[in-house]
């Protein structure tokens, strides 16, 4: 039995997906299945139950105990690797990072490039996800770092603030607001809006600010990522409130008009989250240092 087998099993349990576990470990789905069968044969216990006709995976009681022990072994092995790297002064290993689309697509690329240049023996495994899933994956240990908007201090999580951005209004060039340089929240009353979905922190912040000014808008569409929202605004579906860094390209090309919002509270905070009970590896620490500059 090898460490790789334990990691594949843990990844399968955490993702509940043979395909995702295979992708994380650069193997085929059949190889993941074979690893599970080999572990079950070795310990003469069924570890996983699959619901007939569904894709759900459930741990057996033996699987629960095996999973917890596997995680301890993997944590100890990760610490061993980190200790040996520290002795040689080498920054290496893989940092698993998950981020929301608006930050990952528009703010992280320069930092990732700088990290790769500064620490060529280390790697960044970057994925895009929703905030709720990022928090869940950090707490479960599936990823090491999460970069999210409006990070909340939750039991079991540490938060490293990274500053933030202004929220701005975007509209197509032909819109009545396109010639305005600044708008007050009260001027948005009754406007058609393209919004983030309700569980996304930027949407919750937008709703809260509008409500505090007594403003009600017309919800014409809701999407879960920034790119779809921008395309919907471009074709005239409505206007939207988004983080300013995410629309700099469209502003430069004239695809969208960016209008400042007058009130001071139109801000989006950004931060890194990680598990408070787990020591970060050197590579993860260096990545956070670059993000915080």
- State the CATH number of the domain containing residue 50: 1.10.10.10
In which domain, by residue range, is 231 found?
Answer: 166-267
Kindly state whether residue 111 falls inside one of the protein's structural domains. Answer: no
Please state, in angstroms and rounded to a whole number, the distance separating the CA atoms of residues 266 and 167: 5
Residue 259 reports pLDDT greater than 80 = yes
Domain count across the chain: 2
Whole-number pLDDT of residue 65: 93
Kindly state whether residue 121 falls inside one of the protein's structural domains. Answer: no
Kindly state whether residue 286 falls inside one of the protein's structural domains. Answer: no
Where is the domain boundary, 32, 63, 89?
89
Where is the domain boundary, 74, 89, 104?
89
**Residues found in the chain:** 293
Kindly state whether residue 274 falls inside one of the protein's structural domains. Answer: no
Q: Which residue has the tokens 């087998």?
A: 5
**Residue 172 — pLDDT band, cuts 50, 70, 90?**
very high
Kindly state whether residue 273 falls inside one of the protein's structural domains. Answer: no
Q: What percent of the chain has pLDDT over 90?
A: 66
CATH of the domain at 205: 3.40.190.290
> For 210-248, what is each residue's pLDDT tens digit?
999 999 999 999 999 899 999 999 999 999 999 999 999
Average pLDDT over residues 93-122: 92
Kindly state whether residue 238 falls inside one of the protein's structural domains. Answer: yes
Where is the domain boundary, 89, 105, 128?
89
**Residue 85 — pLDDT band, cuts 50, 70, 90?**
low
Kindly state whether residue 290 falls inside one of the protein's structural domains. Answer: no
HEC string of the chain?
Answer: CCHHHHHHHHHHHHHCCHHHHHHHHCCCHHHHHHHHHHHHHHHCCCCEEECCCCCCEEECHHHHHHHHHHHHHHHHHHHHHHHHHHHHCCCCEEEEEEECHHHHHHCCHHHHHHHHHHCCCEEEEEEECCHHHHHHHHHHCCCCEEEEECCCCCCCEEEEEEEEEEEEEEECCCCCCCCCCEECHHHHCCCEEEEECCCCHHHHHHHHHHHHCCCCCEEEEEECCHHHHHHHHHCCCCEEEEEHHHHHHHHHHCCCEEEEECCCCCEEEEEEEEECCCCCCHHHHHHHHHHHC
Kindly state whether residue 79 falls inside one of the protein's structural domains. Answer: yes
> For 153-163, what is each residue's pLDDT tens digit?
888 999 999 98
């Amino acid at each position: 039995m090898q460490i790789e087998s334990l990691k594949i099993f843990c990844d399968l349990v955490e993702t509940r997906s043979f395909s995702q576990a295979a992708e994380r470990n650069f193997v085929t789905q059949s190889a993941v299945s074979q690893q599970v069968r080999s572990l079950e044969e070795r310990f003469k216990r069924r570890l996983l139950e699959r619901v007939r006709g569904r894709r759900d995976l459930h741990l057996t009681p033996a699987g629960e105990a095996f999973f917890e022990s596997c995680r301890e072994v993997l944590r100890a092995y990760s610490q061993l690797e980190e200790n040996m790297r520290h002795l040689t002064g080498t920054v290496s290993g893989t940092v698993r990072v998950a981020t929301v689309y608006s930050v990952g697509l528009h703010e992280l690329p320069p930092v990732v490039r700088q990290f790769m240049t500064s620490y060529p023996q280390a790697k960044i495994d970057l994925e895009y996800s929703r905030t709720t899933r990022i928090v869940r994956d950090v707490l479960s240990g599936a990823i090491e770092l999460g970069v999210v908007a409006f990070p909340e201090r939750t039991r079991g999580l540490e938060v490293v603030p990274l500053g933030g951005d202004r929220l701005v209004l975007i509209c197509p060039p032909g819109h009545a607001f396109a010639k305005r340089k600044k708008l007050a929240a009260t001027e948005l009353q009754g406007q058609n809006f393209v919004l983030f979905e309700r569980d996304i922190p930027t949407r919750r912040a937008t709703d809260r600010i509008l409500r505090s000014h007594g403003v009600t808008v017309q919800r014409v569409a809701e999407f879960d990522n920034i790119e779809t929202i921008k395309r919907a605004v471009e074709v005239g579906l409505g206007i939207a409130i988004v983080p300013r860094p995410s629309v700099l390209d469209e502003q430069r090309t004239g695809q969208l008009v960016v209008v400042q919002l007058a009130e001071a509270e139109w801000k989006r905070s950004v931060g890194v989250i990680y598990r408070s009970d787990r020591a970060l590896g050197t590579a993860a620490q260096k990545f956070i240092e670059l993000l915080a500059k």
